[in-house]
A and B are shown apart, each in its own frame.
Chain A
Amino acid sequence: MANPAIELKGITKAFGHIIANENVDLTVFRGEILAILGENGSGKTTLMNMISGIYYPDEGHIFIDGKEVNISSPKDALDLKIGMIHQHFKLVDVFNATENIVLGLDEGKYDIKASAKKIQETCDRYGFEIDVNKKIYEMSVSEKQTVEIVKALYKGADILILDEPTAVLTPQETQKLFNVLRKMREDGKSIIIITHKLHEVLEISDRVSVLRKGKYIGTINTAEANESILTEMMVGEKISLDIERSEPKDTTDRLIVKGVDLYNKEGVQVLKDISFTAKSGEILGIAGISGSGQRELLESIAGLQKISGGEILYNNPKTNETENLKDKTPMQIRNLGVRLSFVPEDRLGMGLVGNMDIIDNMMLRSYRKGKSVFVERKQPKALAEKIIEDLQVVTPDAKTPVRRLSGGNVQKVLVGREIAASPTVLMAAYPVRGLDINSSYMIYNLLNEQKENGVAVIFVGEDLDVLIELCDRILVVCGGRVTGIVNGREAKKEELGLLMTKGNAKGGKSDE
């Protein structure tokens, strides 16, 4: 036990002016499962990428079995028996499992049948259930992940790194994965698992190392840890989520979604008979495992997806008329006088233009104003300066391209612009993802302010504690279906967790 398999000393890595890892130390022993815990953007993946040869550290040393090594390519990592299972699988879709596993290996002559047999043996040893002749594109996410793990083992990995392996799995699949990981531990392998889910850390790991904002905070034995200790390490000072929540006033039905169905480009149904009502003056939360249809739902309302069934009705408070937004483009929706603001999940890829400065990003909503063929930059400039001041955006000036800002400041610019359009409906998808505590609170306060101004706020979140503290009602989606709507003041985390996985148990994505 006492042999460190990997030791990192003083690892630092910067991307431009963003420091992803700063002076990080880490030790992993043989025959243990080490969890790397940290919030989004805390540098977990970057650190692991340096062990697996994707990035090269700016400073610091890596020791394998006590010897200093230099890992400058994934090939070097492989030679040192290090294997990484990335969050986004690196498999060739049109190849089958065996072909993917032997890809890039030099085993002398190419004998796919012999390889398949050897792979099957590896699988049997650890209890993997895969069909070695199945094509990748026919596989479910969990099967693909299994192929990735077998690939790493087959290539002789003794040190396995898994990047957020459970993010895409159902609870049952997660259990299966954990059983396999335990078997590998018994076999003397070192396993590093990256996650930000506390209960998984407590369940599977032997020790936990915590990163916060790129810095190494510390390592503790899991047996001595509990959720509150880990949370404190992860976010810094012990925080009690204490978000103000006023009673909704003068609620009226603002947005009525009725039986919405949506198919994606591949013809898979991603929204199934979704119905709910968003009321003015309240915050409606949407909870669910990521990829349960939240993004598609908001995009459908915003006119970016063509729904195949159902309707989306908007009650205009000015005219008291009801408009059906189905089959309307974002432009047509705006021309109807619908004041819909949308903070999308993909901030720089959809909400903003990364290479444009703050002023030009302000113009996205307003540039059409007026009959002139030329754009008018005075008002957007004033707005940009106001947002920079009001929301304390950290930026050299309003002419800085938004991609140069940090995640939290990018989000302030985006939310600021969307609120400035004085909406009647405000949709925000994961608005605090990757933000520090202070910025997160600023966003919560802005949402609350909008609610008090009579806006119907729709908040898609991932942190259940926040949803419970912030929202008046919480809609839970699972596998594209609504599995429940609960009162935010009475909701329990366990209850939400159950609802979030309900649809999966009933008819998962892949069995249909």
Chain B
Amino acid sequence: MSNEKVKEPFMHITKRADISRGKSWLIRIASILVALVFCAVIIVLLTGENPLSVYVTMFKGAVGTTRRIWSLLQNVAMLLCVSLAVTPAFRMKFWNIGAEGQVLIGGLATTACMILLGNKLPTPVLMIVIFVSSIIAGAIWALIPAIFKAIWNTNETLFTLMMNYIAMQIVSYFAYVWSVPKGSGAIGVINPNTQAGWFPSVLNQKYLLNIVIVAVLTVIVYIYLKYSKHGYEIAVVGESENTAKYIGINVKKVIIRTMLVSGALCGIAGVLLVSGTDHTLTKDTAAGRGFTAIIVSWLAKFNPIYMVLTSLLIVFLQKGAVEISSKFELNDSFSDIITGIIIFFIIGSEFFINYKLNFNKKGENK
């Protein structure tokens, strides 16, 4: 500090007053481009492959063939469904990271219906029973932490996380009980011959029904959050619990009700995964979607319509990444690195949307 000339810091950070919509999207798109360039450097350094051909492979891997497009859409629908489920709770600032478990328990209920009632009930009745029981199961799994939060103010993040592990163990247990052949520990395809409890193919597309259901749910959740009195209460509780109490909202009731909605949507995701996609259940059926959904929901700022885009982006990256790791015979982890970098840049771009860097000009004249 004793020298004559003081060194100014190279830059400092200030909050932006306002930013136009166009400019903020420009920053987001720029961040993806920067991420791609950055990834290209990594690709060249680590693998020596031509980054352009890697990107082309990635693109082809995601949407290269009709079958791949359908598979992409199906995966988007599944991820979107779980993301829709976590969103009401997140809007309320209730950090439900237990969607994984809630989906599994919903899927377990579906599996139970298919195995126990599958060939005994007529198809329409069976489908109704599957939906109702899975919705209830998912809702109960979400209700437990909600009640503890509302009454004893327990930490919902830890609570819902722990509920995931319980759900996985329960599923593992039933996977053993219902395993085919006995003792193998895997349920295998349920009702392979009668296809009882399976979603029917629509227009010859076996995943189309899933996609349609999720599309409808997206619109419903959007309307629920934006235009219903419940949605308004969720927003108020999430923004300020004090304000909610001040205007007479029963905060406990809203927490419990909203988590029931979240859990019920997870239950539906369970049906779509078991009845509509896998026709079996393992403890990995949810495949981490309960956690990925958190990123999808955050990136979309909890807006269900934007979530269509963010879930598409993430599934696209995942699919493309898998393709490059197999085609270039790279380690599986390599594709995860690429996906991780891109998501990191996208999330990081929010910082530049909210804040501005000021470079000190004085530093330039010596």
Contacts and interface: CB of A to CB of B under 8 A. Distances in A.
Interface stretch (A183-191, A252-260, A315-323, A353-361): A353-361
Interface in A13-45: 14-17
Interface string A332-353: 0110000000101010111111
Interface in A278-294: none
Contacts of A273: none
Interface stretch (B203-211, B229-237, B282-290): B229-237
A302 B246 contact: yes
Interface string B212-237: 00000000000000011111100110
Contact of A363 (B9, B14, B232): B232
B353 to A, nearest CB: 13
B155 to A, nearest CB: 19
B239 A354 contact: yes
Contacts of A56: 9, 12
Contacts of A229: none
Interface in A344-402: 344, 346, 348-356, 360, 363-365, 367-368, 372-375
B227 A375 contact: yes
A79 interface: yes
Between B18, B228, B240, the greatest number of chain A beta carbons within 10 A of the residue's beta carbon is seen for B240
A12 to B, nearest CB: 11
Contact of A16 (B1, B8, B17, B236): B17
A304 B17 contact: no
Interface stretch (A68-76, A107-115, A165-173, A503-511): A68-76
Residue from B8, B12, B230, B243 with most neighbouring chain A CB atoms (10 Å)? B243
Contact of B228 (A303, A365, A375): A375
A364 B229 contact: no
A344 B246 contact: yes
Contacts of A407: none
A16 B228 contact: no
A373 B239 contact: no
Contacts of A372: 229
Given A69-B1, A72-B9, A355-B239, A330 B229 contact: no
B235 A356 contact: yes
Contacts of A375: 227-229, 231-232
B128 to A, nearest CB: 24
Nearest to A61: B6
A240 to B, nearest CB: 36
Contact of B247 (A330, A354, A374, A404): A330
A353 B230 CA distance: 16
A329 interface: yes
Nearest to A64: B1
Interface in B146-184: none
Contacts of B245: 304, 330
Nearest to A57: B12
Contact of A360 (B7, B15, B232): B232
B327 interface: no
A116 interface: no
A381 to B, nearest CB: 14
Contacts of A330: 245-248
A331 B246 contact: no
Contacts of A350: 240, 242-243, 246
B250 interface: yes
A364 B1 contact: no
A331 B243 contact: no
A351 B15 contact: no
A373 B220 CA distance: 13
Nearest to A377: B227
A93 interface: no
A425 to B, nearest CB: 15
Contacts of B12: 56, 72
A80 interface: yes
Interface in A72-90: 72, 79-80
A129 interface: no
A58 interface: yes
A68 B3 CA distance: 10
A329 B9 contact: no
A353 B232 CA distance: 11
A348 to B, nearest CB: 8
A346 B7 CA distance: 41
Interface string A271-315: 000000000000000000000000000000011100000000000
A72 B243 CA distance: 37
A375 B227 CA distance: 6
B68 interface: no
Contact of A70 (B9, B15, B230): B9
Contacts of B194: none
A72 B236 CA distance: 38
A364 B236 contact: yes
A304 B227 CA distance: 28
A349 B248 contact: no
Contacts of B4: 67
Nearest to A352: B243
B191 to A, nearest CB: 39
A77 to B, nearest CB: 11
B88 to A, nearest CB: 15
B240 A349 contact: yes
Contact of A14 (B8, B14, B228, B242): B14
Contacts of A58: 14, 358
A368 B239 contact: no
Contacts of A72: 9, 12
Interface string B318-333: 0000000000000000
A304 B229 CA distance: 22
Nearest to B5: A68
Contacts of A344: 246
Interface in A102-148: none
Contact of B8 (A70, A334, A342): A70
Interface in B44-93: none
B236 A70 contact: no
A58 B236 CA distance: 35
A355 B237 CA distance: 12
Contacts of B231: 375
Contact of B6 (A68, A303, A329, A368): A68
Interface in B86-117: none
18 contacts: A16-B18, A56-B9, A58-B14, A67-B4, A67-B6, A72-B12, A304-B246, A330-B247, A349-B240, A349-B243, A350-B243, A353-B236, A354-B239, A356-B236, A356-B239, A367-B229, A373-B229, A374-B227
Interface of B: 1, 4, 6-9, 12, 14-18, 227-232, 235-236, 239-240, 242-243, 245-250, 358
7 residue pairs, one from A and one from B, having the closest CB atoms = A331-B248, A330-B248, A17-B17, A16-B17, A350-B242, A353-B239, A70-B6
Interface of A: 14-17, 56, 58, 67-70, 72, 79-80, 302-304, 329-331, 333-334, 342, 344, 346, 348-356, 360, 363-365, 367-368, 372-375, 404
Given A68-B6, A355-B239, 15 more contacts: A14-B14, A67-B4, A70-B6, A331-B249, A349-B243, A350-B240, A350-B246, A351-B246, A353-B240, A354-B240, A363-B232, A372-B229, A373-B229, A375-B229, A375-B232
